[in-house]
Structure 1
Amino acid sequence: MNDQMLQKLVEDISLTYFNKKFKHRAYFNNRLRTTGGRYMLHSHNIDINPKYFHEYGLDEVIGIIKHELCHYHLHIEGKGYKHGDQDFKLLLKKVGAPRFCSPLSNETKARKPILIYRCRDCHQEYKRKRRVDTTRLVCGKCAGKIYLYRKG
């Protein structure tokens, strides 16, 4: 599926489920990592994550499109378009759109290594995802010096 086919699909879904035209752009965005789609408030365009099409297929993408179209139509009408708004929840239910998309497989998610720091005096361990400046920080338990013990 390419961007032109996606644009046509979004326009068709908008007419079928919302009885309203979609007058802006819809396209695949490879930079999206943690979300299935995104509605842009200023441009009114919709980005779709192509990984969901490759991993789950057309049905998942249709659900994502319905979800983003709920944001789109409610925002244009001046109603509550945010996830917590009652208007949004009601429209999701009406058109059968999912509230959340399925998670991507673990292969596509990059995991940060865990760094383990240890106190020289009391041997208290601290697990961190980011590096810590050991010259400035001390142990919270005994105020001793800490050092990088190992990368987990």
Structure 2
Amino acid sequence: MKDAELQVLVEQISIESFGKPFRHKATFNPRLRSTGGRYLLGTHNIEINRKYLDQLGETELIGIIKHELCHYHLHLEGKGYQHRDPEFKFLLKKVGAPRFCNQLPDVKKKRTVKKILLYKCSNCNLSFQRKRSINTSKYVCGICKGKLVKVKEIQIG
């Protein structure tokens, strides 16, 4: 699907679902990564992530278009167009648009490995743990001003 075909599809969905024309531009934006599409407040244009069409199909694309058209029509009418606004939520339900798009299959969730660092004072044997590392050549024990030594690092998750 090219930008011209997307433009026709958006105009068609706007008339069928909203009963109002779409008078601006709809294009694919290859720079979009974590979102299915976006409505630009300044230009009133709609940008769509092509990956959603390629990986999840046309039904997901139509849902994204309906979602962005909800932003579009409500903004032009001067009503609440943000996700938290009741007018937006009502219009989403009315036209059958999803509030959020599905996650792309090729995007893997980052598995965060947390670490805990254990430190000990070489003078008074005070031990403590931190999430962030300490520059042991710069900082000293807060109790006795002794030298800090990194004991070990524990990986969690």
TM-score (norm 2): 0.76
3-state SS, counterpart of residue 35 of structure 2: coil
Superposition misfits of 4+ residues, deviation over 2 angstroms: 107-117, 122-126, 132-138, 142-152
- Cα deviation for residue 2 of structure 1 reads 1.4
Say what the alpha-carbon RMSD is for the aligned residues: 3.1
Structure 2, unaligned stretches of length 5 or more?
121-126
Q: CA deviation at 1:135?
A: 2.3
Aligned residues: 144
1:42-95 CA deviation, whole Å, 9 max, x = no partner? 111111111111111000000000000000000001011111111111111111
Alignment of 1:69-88 (within 5 A): 69-88=69-88
Contact 1:113–1:151, Cα closer than 8 Å, also in 2? no
Contact persistence 1:11–1:21 (CA under 8 A): yes
**How far has the Cα of 1:133 moved from its partner?**
6.4
Identity %: 50
Q: Could you tell me the TM-score, scaled by structure 1's length?
A: 0.79
Structure 2 residue 20 is matched with structure 1 residue 15: no
Query: What's the counterpart of residue 129 of structure 1?
Result: none
- The answer for the alignment partner of 2:123 in structure 1 is none
SS at match of 2:117: strand
Structure 1 residue runs of 5 or longer lacking an equivalent are 127-131
CA contact (8 A) 1:117 1:146 kept: no
1:116 corresponds to which residue? 115
CA shift, 1:118, in A, is 1.4
